[in-house]
């Protein structure tokens, strides 16, 4: 099934991609089968599906962290051959360096780019303030709450100015209140910065809250089951209580439910 974004310029093209995991022991596992997907420039897309459906695998293939064995993935027409600075990734478990302060963590990617120290400091401070961590520049990860750690991880990724944000259940380890705050923060940042976002989640409400389009994946082996546009006022502070939100959640949950049962 090919899903196209006719109303936007294609930035990412996944073409009939399959992926097999081959563990040292045990049988091979077909994680993805014949997946085709197009994502437009500055589009916010959620990949949604039951645990084990291959959504994170697809994200890592787009990021260049896994080899593409069957099919092709193209970024702006060029085949993906590995990770690149155009794709920034945010993991669920923060992945901060515990021996570095918040500012030093955010500066890490800028150091790798070879920027002058003064420019590193300027950009790090800008993004620290953007994610609401002003005053915590010299704190270490062990001194931060889960939400603050994820803010620092997001600032580190944004600082290198990737064209695309690849987010693998980035709020999954947070409590419900912090998760809601981080969702609002991410959406506000996306509105201010011209980036394409691919957001992996298994939470239907989170997908509807954030994404312009929700791509529902089947139980393993993962395939594209449906692509659903979401048009809501995300600046509405009471969005979770709106009838339009509830209706869209019900529509998408009905697509996910059967796959979740299969995955059991």
Strands, sheet with 213-217, edge to edge from the N-terminal-most edge strand: 87-90, 164-168, 196-201, 44-48, 213-217, 224-229
In tens digits, the chain (264 residues) has pLDDT values of: 444 444 457 899 999 999 999 888 889 999 999 999 999 999 999 999 988 899 999 999 999 999 999 999 999 999 999 999 999 999 887 789 999 999 999 999 999 999 999 999 999 999 999 999 999 999 999 999 999 999 999 999 999 999 999 999 998 888 888 888 889 889 988 998 889 999 999 999 999 999 999 999 999 999 999 999 999 988 888 888 899 999 999 999 999 998 888 877
The residue extents of the domains of the chain are 10-86+163-263, 95-161
The domain defined by 10-86+163-263 carries CATH number 3.30.950.10: no
pLDDT of residue 3: 45
pLDDT of residue 1: 44
Q: DSSP secondary structure string, 31-56?
A: EEEEEEEEEETT-EEEEE-STTSSHH
Q: DSSP secondary structure string, 155-222?
A: HHHHHT--SEEEEESTTTTS-HHHHHHHHHHHHHHHHHS--EEEEEES-HHHHHHH-SEEEEEPSSSB
């Amino acid at each position: 099934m090919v899903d196209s974004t006719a109303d936007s310029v294609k930035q990412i093209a996944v073409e009939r991609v399959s992926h097999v995991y081959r563990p040292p022991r045990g049988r091979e596992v077909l994680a993805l089968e014949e997946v085709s997907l197009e994502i437009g420039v500055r589009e916010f897309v959620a990949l949604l599906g039951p645990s084990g459906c291959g959504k994170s695998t697809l994200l890592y293939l787009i990021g260049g962290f896994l080899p593409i064995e069957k099919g092709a993935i193209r970024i702006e027409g060029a085949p993906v051959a590995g990770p690149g600075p155009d794709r920034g990734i945010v993991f669920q478990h923060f992945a901060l360096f515990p021996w570095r302060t918040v500012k030093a963590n955010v500066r890490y990617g800028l150091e790798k780019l070879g920027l002058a120290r003064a420019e590193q400091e300027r950009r790090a401070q800008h993004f620290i303030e953007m994610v609401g961590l002003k005053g915590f520049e010299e704190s270490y990860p062990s001194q931060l709450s889960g939400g603050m750690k994820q803010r620092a991880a997001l600032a580190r990724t944004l600082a290198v100015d990737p064209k695309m944000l690849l987010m693998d259940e980035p709020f999954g380890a947070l409590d419900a209140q912090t998760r809601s705050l981080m969702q609002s923060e991410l959406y506000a940042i996306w509105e201010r910065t011209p980036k394409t976002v691919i957001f992996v989640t298994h939470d239907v409400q989170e997908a509807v809250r954030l994404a312009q389009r929700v791509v529902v994946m089947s139980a393993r082996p993962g395939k594209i089951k449906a692509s659903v546009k979401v048009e809501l006022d995300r600046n509405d502070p009471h969005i979770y209580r709106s009838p339009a939100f509830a209706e869209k959640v019900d529509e998408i949950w009905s697509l996910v439910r059967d796959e979740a049962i299969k995955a059991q």
